[in-house]
Structure 1
Amino acid sequence: MEIYFISTILAGALILPLALKTCFPYLWTDLQYVGVFLRILFKYVAIRRRRPPFFALDRFLERSAALPDKPFIVFGDEAYTYADADRASNRIANALRSQRGYEAGVSAALFMGNEPGFLFTWLALAKLGSPVALLNYNIRSKSLLHCFNCCKAKVLIAAAELKEAVEDVLPSLMEQGVTVLLWAHRCDTPGIESFSDKVQAASDTALPPSLRSRVTLRSPAVYIYTSGTTGLPKAALVDQNRLLSALAVVSTYGVTSKDVVYVNLPLYHTAGFVVGFLGCIETGSTIVLKRKFSASQFWDDCRKYNVTVVQYIGEVMRYLCCTPKKDNDKDHKVRLAIGNGLRAEVWKEFLNRFGNIQILEFYASTEGNVGFLNYAGKMGAVGRVHFIHKKLFPYILVKYDTERDEPIRDASGLCVEALKGETGLLVSKITDIAPFVGYAENEEQTERKKLRNVLKKGDLYFNTGDLMRIDKDNFIYFQDRVGDTFRWKGENVATTEVSDILSMSDCLQEANVYGVQVPGHEGRVGMAAATLKRDAQFDGSKLHDHVVSYLPSYARPRFIRLQSAVEVTGTFKQMKVKLVEQGFDPEQIQEPLYILDDRVRSYVPLTAEIYRSILSGHVKLSRPVTSALSRKL
């Protein structure tokens, strides 16, 4: 009996782990995540309780005191230690204090590209207690003036190469009494002061903390702008509290002080500024700063600087996978890639080609109050649903009507929750620990991001504008942006999914998918603006076979527009609004246009005759084009 009892216990001990792994394959991973999640919360609470108040700048001051000689920024052949950065920012701050029109604490705008001066200037302004607007260096004229005015800045600090862009809006800036400083030793333009010479002559003595004594956790820290794919950019107000919470999260990403982090995304964007720059400060690591992303130079830089951690966003990984293959593709020290927007098929191709690199995919937005981390490493997922996370940061997927562009509501006026496996709009409850601050000087857009009466009357949620899906294993997947999804033949078409399929074809390198209105047809018809792969010719027959193999009939693009390059924002988000407005008129579009013809099983040139026949109703897009034309003739 005793032997039987012992045998039973031993058998159970052996079988239990196997049973748990079979029935709960992610149990151990989930438990590990609970530990990580609680560590984030404890760290954040501990920081919040520090007195005097502790800010992101204070973390830098700690690092520069503890690691003065450690390399902080590497830029080309230049290298700066943490102590160098501290002294450089002191000089900039002291130079600013001597400028007419500047007072410690007033808002300033930074109009610079990726360079060490950008980082030093932000540190200087933080030491002076000034909120900083991070302006996209690609914007001009009306958009530049709009972004500047959003944050009520009194000072504009610009890079020398952006002088002409500043001069375009200078009359308006002068009317407002704005102090304009140019990173140059000399400037002859009235109304613009040279700044480099003042910085060079300034002292590098430390700034008294009293200059930022009025800064609180609720004070604005930075203004980070949306990409403006559908209009003028909006300035998301990021307060000091939000920066601290972001640093608490970034500290758990697995980056250490021994890592060398490659930052080639724009510093004016959240990924480059918060995850890249401030993330390295939090972990005490070294930044290899690049002016801009270059697919051809990416791996050579990683090898040259012994990079161990890289960032990605949007289409960056796809661009890397599209470069010509080399024998040394796996010859590097990169161990970790952090970012978002990586689709499953690109994820797989990236690992197969460039080696065993840990991919840390996450979901977040600059102004949003919800985020996910794909801690389990499931290809294609942005995260995993976890009850503790959902308890503290309540969120829900609600059914969405893409035709009316609004959530579906029941008879009582409440939103309808999407079932598992269904695509729904991600909304997150606005609470004290998950606030939504909104956009600077834009109450209308702030209000539009709020969704009321979601689960009960009077509740308030943040509308992410993102369509997501949760599978049976509780992994959550990004599907599309609201407005990017369109309806055709009674079905919802996800543009990102169609884009991915098109770029898997033999001839197309990249595709920007959108819906266009066609007279006599309900909904919007699929169209793609695409580029050809290097040395490839457009093959309408092969492309037809490809889309038929991978896409249902309603999702197959009816129109293809070939371009030399797909227009994207500075953070690689595809621009669609102008393309939608231009439609598919061959007389208005000089680039090659094609239409899907099921009868000949090919994409054929879209002629003026076919276009007129579509407008007149003789050609219905639900029928083969050539058969309709033959009947007309």
Structure 2
Amino acid sequence: MLLSWLTGFGAGLLFLHFLQKLLFPYFWDDLWFLLKVVRYGIQMEIYKLRGELVTVLDKFLSHARRQPQKAFLIYEGDVYTYEDVDKRSNRVAHAFLDHSSLKRGDVVALLMSNEPDFIHVWFGLAKLGCVVAFLNSNIRFDSLLHCICTCEPTAVVVGGDLLGSIEEILPSLPKHISVWGMKDSVPQGVVSLKEKLSLASDEPVPTSHHVTSSLKSTCLYIFTSGTTGLPKAAVISQLQVLKGSFGLWAFGCTADDIIYITLPLYHSSGALLGIGGCIELGATCVLKKKFSASQFWNDCKKYNVTVFQYIGELCRYLCKQPQREGEKDHRVRLAVGNGMSSDVWRQFLDRFGNIKMCEFYGATEGNICFMNHTGKIGSVGRANFFYKLFFAFELITYDFQKDEPMRDDEGWCHHVKTGEPGLLISRVHTKNPFFGYAGSYRHTKSKLLFDVFKKGDVYFNTGDLMVQDHENFLYFWDRIGDTFRWKGENVATTEVADVIGRLDFVQEANVYGVPVPGYEGKAGMASIILKPNKSLDLEKMYCQVVTSLPAYACPRFLRIQDKMETTGTFKLKKMQLVEEGFHPLKISDPLYFMDNLKKSYIPLTKEIYNQIMLEELKL
């Protein structure tokens, strides 16, 4: 009797297991991931109940006390322990206390490449309770001046290798802004921070300088290319930094991991997910000044790297490298990043071994993120019943001709059908706030949608089109509006058009992105109307864009038109131009290609076009 009962019970369990696999194949993956999220949330609530508002800086200081001799940073072969970084950042704090009038709440802009001093200065200023604004190290001239003025800093700290960029705009900087250079010999008008550090104390700074009264208080500004105009300073709260630092742990990283960061620290991925994630774990970070495809795997082997951060373009570059022996001979077990296309994903795994690719989605300033915890190739994450309990997001229909969300006669938006691309929006409320941007409220308001499904509701507009399949996996489809991605960076088309429009022979410029084989994102292209009785100066055009724009924002292609079509609201039409691309045999307008060797734009011939399409010509 007992035997038959046990047999029946076992058969029942097998049947239920089979049924679960058939009908709910991701149930356990979803549940375990949810439990991790809940566990983290409970930990945050316990801190609150105790009256402790623990920040990422507090967690770093805790590690520096508990494991002072553990390696925190490895940079170009040099090892910086948790204690080393703590003491060096103390020196930064004391240097400013002794030689400046910096006070709690002041903003300090940081213009530095990937190097240990980026973190030393960041943490040192944080220990004083300052808000640190990360400046993109690629920008120059008007863009750099705009970014500095936008965040209204009291001081700017500049890396030794970037002093030339700040020197170009020094006369235009507001007089109240002091400039500090991380070099012994600095230009006139710049204070040598390096010299001050050599004399500064490394004793701890009183915690009263940085203790926070609210996790919603601002601690960083990170610049992002919005849908219009020059870069905007996204407000990053202590809470957002904590959430960002949670990512590596959520994907399964531990304190024993060695994490390789080649992404720029001025972006949220490198700083919050990367450095913040290492601090959350108490792990070790290998920091690279700049990504190198040829040195990548050698570095991984040399430093026993187990986890690395990526963007899709990075992995594509690795796959394009000449094959070598022993490419699977490494200790990397996991990679965390975004922007990986399905074809590169499969190729990467086939070539470099069984590495778990942890794709995620999230905007720097956004209040929504997805994490692909199942490893589904091509997906940025998965929506399920559990997820919807915590994050209210929707995919709504989008009018591509009007370039805006589609609304019915009553003014309401509608959900897209499963499998159709829709605009990703996320509900804004007290527990899921949107902190917006520094400066005018109009910048913040421009990213919000009001009265979407009912009167009074507010949603954050991500500007991204997503597709959700029948299994609730989400896939990135495209960007909308006046931005596109190239070389892992967002490009604001209006900023590029403004730079081109300053040329005396240009009447109007319409900038957009076009897909190019072998590259993630889209390459920049500018459609231009010349002023009457003016001729096109291709060398002057080249000089204008390379000196005023970061390399990734320079248009690779030009198209000269007689007229441009506009929408009913007088916005320049782009869709048809994007679809037509840069094919010289299909487009009768003159086309030009950016030639960096000749330092000019040159006619886009059929031969050049074919080389680009066959991936023989590097852009």
Q: Cα deviation per residue 1:16-75 (whole Å; 9 max; x = unaligned)?
A: 212221222112212222212212322332344443422111000001001100011111
Identity over the aligned pairs, expressed in percent?
43
Give the letter for the 2:456 counterpart.
G
How far has the Cα of 1:78 moved from its partner?
Answer: 1.1
How far has the Cα of 1:253 moved from its partner?
Answer: 2.2
Task: For residue 467 of structure 1, give the secondary structure of its aligned residue in structure 2.
Answer: strand
Identify the residue that residue 512 of structure 1 maps to in structure 2: 522
The answer as to 2:371 corresponding to 1:395 is no
Q: Cα deviation per residue 1:181-200 (whole Å; 9 max; x = unaligned)?
A: 1111233x332111111101
How far apart, in 2, do the equivalents of 1:85 and 1:2 lie? Answer: 65
1:140-539 mapped onto 2 (5 Å cutoff): 140-173=140-173, 175-187=174-186, 189-213=187-211, 216-227=214-225, 231-483=229-481, 499=515, 502-503=517-518, 512=522
| Aligned residues of 2:248 and 2:273 also touching (Cα < 8 A) | yes
Distance 1:215 1:583, change over 3 A: farther
How far has the Cα of 1:314 moved from its partner?
Answer: 3.7
Unmatched runs of 5 consecutive residues or more in structure 1: 487-494, 504-508, 520-565, 587-594, 614-633
Distance 1:413 1:515, change over 3 A: farther
Identify the residue that residue 100 of structure 1 maps to in structure 2: 100
How far apart, in 2, do the equivalents of 1:280 and 1:143 lie? Answer: 32
How far apart, in 2, do the equivalents of 1:256 and 1:138 lie? Answer: 33
Give the letter for the 1:287 counterpart.
C
Give the letter for the 1:184 counterpart.
K
Larger Rg: 1
How far has the Cα of 1:178 moved from its partner?
Answer: 1.1
| Aligned residues of 1:150 and 1:440 also touching (Cα < 8 A) | yes
Identify the residue that residue 70 of structure 1 maps to in structure 2: 70
How far apart, in 2, do the equivalents of 1:42 and 1:216 lie? Answer: 18
Identify the residue that residue 545 of structure 1 maps to in structure 2: none
Q: Cα deviation per residue 1:245-304 (whole Å; 9 max; x = unaligned)?
A: 323344322111111110110000001000111110110111111001111111111011
Distance 1:242 1:607, change over 3 A: closer
Q: Cα deviation per residue 1:424-475 (whole Å; 9 max; x = unaligned)?
A: 0000000111100101113222111000111111110000001001101110
Distance 1:381 1:95, change over 3 A: same
The answer as to 2:589 corresponding to 1:611 is yes
The answer as to 2:17 corresponding to 1:17 is yes
Give the letter for the 2:179 counterpart.
V
| Aligned residues of 1:105 and 1:131 also touching (Cα < 8 A) | yes
How far apart, in 1, do the equivalents of 2:522 and 2:297 lie? Answer: 26
How far apart, in 2, do the equivalents of 1:457 and 1:402 lie? Answer: 25
Distance 1:7 1:407, change over 3 A: same
How far apart, in 2, do the equivalents of 1:58 and 1:381 lie? Answer: 34
How far apart, in 2, do the equivalents of 1:133 and 1:470 lie? Answer: 35
| Aligned residues of 1:382 and 1:476 also touching (Cα < 8 A) | yes
Distance 1:107 1:403, change over 3 A: same
Identify the residue that residue 84 of structure 1 maps to in structure 2: 84
Identify the residue that residue 594 of structure 2 maps to in structure 1: none
How far has the Cα of 1:386 moved from its partner?
Answer: 1.5
| Aligned residues of 1:426 and 1:467 also touching (Cα < 8 A) | yes
Distance 1:184 1:3, change over 3 A: closer
Identify the residue that residue 583 of structure 1 maps to in structure 2: 559
Give the letter for the 1:440 counterpart.
A
Q: Cα deviation per residue 1:151-210 (whole Å; 9 max; x = unaligned)?
A: 11101111122222111221232x4311111111233x3321111111011111110112
Identify the residue that residue 533 of structure 1 maps to in structure 2: none
Give the letter for the 1:180 counterpart.
V
Distance 1:515 1:162, change over 3 A: closer
Task: For residue 350 of structure 1, give the secondary structure of its aligned residue in structure 2.
Answer: helix
| Aligned residues of 1:182 and 1:195 also touching (Cα < 8 A) | yes
Unmatched runs of 5 consecutive residues or more in structure 2: 485-511, 530-545, 563-576, 592-619
Identify the residue that residue 548 of structure 1 maps to in structure 2: none
How far apart, in 1, do the equivalents of 2:520 and 2:458 lie? Answer: 39
How far apart, in 1, do the equivalents of 2:230 and 2:163 lie? Answer: 22
Task: For residue 243 of structure 1, give the secondary structure of its aligned residue in structure 2.
Answer: helix
RMSD: 3.1
Which deviates more from structure 2 when the two are superposed, residues 211-220 or residues 286-295? 211-220
| Aligned residues of 2:428 and 2:460 also touching (Cα < 8 A) | yes
How far has the Cα of 1:6 moved from its partner?
Answer: 6.0
How far has the Cα of 1:512 moved from its partner?
Answer: 2.9
| Aligned residues of 1:40 and 1:249 also touching (Cα < 8 A) | no
Distance 1:604 1:66, change over 3 A: closer
How far has the Cα of 1:388 moved from its partner?
Answer: 2.2
How far apart, in 2, do the equivalents of 1:458 and 1:104 lie? Answer: 37
How far has the Cα of 1:215 moved from its partner?
Answer: 5.3
How far apart, in 2, do the equivalents of 1:584 and 1:329 lie? Answer: 46
How far apart, in 2, do the equivalents of 1:606 and 1:165 lie? Answer: 41
Give the letter for the 1:156 counterpart.
V
Give the letter for the 1:283 counterpart.
L
Give the letter for the 1:480 counterpart.
D
Give the letter for the 2:239 counterpart.
N
How far apart, in 2, do the equivalents of 1:146 and 1:191 lie? Answer: 20
Distance 1:9 1:280, change over 3 A: closer
Task: For residue 315 of structure 1, give the secondary structure of its aligned residue in structure 2.
Answer: helix
Distance 1:87 1:4, change over 3 A: closer
Identify the residue that residue 124 of structure 1 maps to in structure 2: 124
How far apart, in 1, do the equivalents of 2:204 and 2:85 lie? Answer: 12
Distance 1:73 1:457, change over 3 A: same
Distance 1:214 1:390, change over 3 A: closer
Identify the residue that residue 30 of structure 2 maps to in structure 1: 30
| Aligned residues of 1:452 and 1:458 also touching (Cα < 8 A) | yes
How far apart, in 2, do the equivalents of 1:311 and 1:370 lie? Answer: 20
Q: Cα deviation per residue 1:100-140 (whole Å; 9 max; x = unaligned)?
A: 34334311111110000010111100110000000111111
Task: For residue 251 of structure 1, give the secondary structure of its aligned residue in structure 2.
Answer: helix
How far apart, in 2, do the equivalents of 1:337 and 1:47 lie? Answer: 30
Which deviates more from structure 2 when the two are superposed, residues 470-479 or residues 440-449? 440-449
Distance 1:394 1:510, change over 3 A: closer
How far apart, in 1, do the equivalents of 2:54 and 2:144 lie? Answer: 33
Distance 1:178 1:215, change over 3 A: farther
Which deviates more from structure 2 when the two are superposed, residues 42-51 or residues 413-422? 42-51
Q: Cα deviation per residue 1:386-445 (whole Å; 9 max; x = unaligned)?
A: 112212211110000111111111221110111111110000000111100101113222
Give the letter for the 2:120 counterpart.
F
TM-score when normalising by structure 2 = 0.80
1:538-577 mapped onto 2 (5 Å cutoff): 575=553
Distance 1:47 1:386, change over 3 A: farther
| Aligned residues of 1:64 and 1:82 also touching (Cα < 8 A) | yes
Task: For residue 99 of structure 2, give the secondary structure of its aligned residue in structure 1.
Answer: coil
Give the letter for the 1:299 counterpart.
W
Q: Cα deviation per residue 1:301-326 (whole Å; 9 max; x = unaligned)?
A: 10111110000024111111111111
How far apart, in 2, do the equivalents of 1:300 and 1:133 lie? Answer: 33
How far has the Cα of 1:584 moved from its partner?
Answer: 5.8
Task: For residue 222 of structure 2, give the secondary structure of its aligned residue in structure 1.
Answer: strand
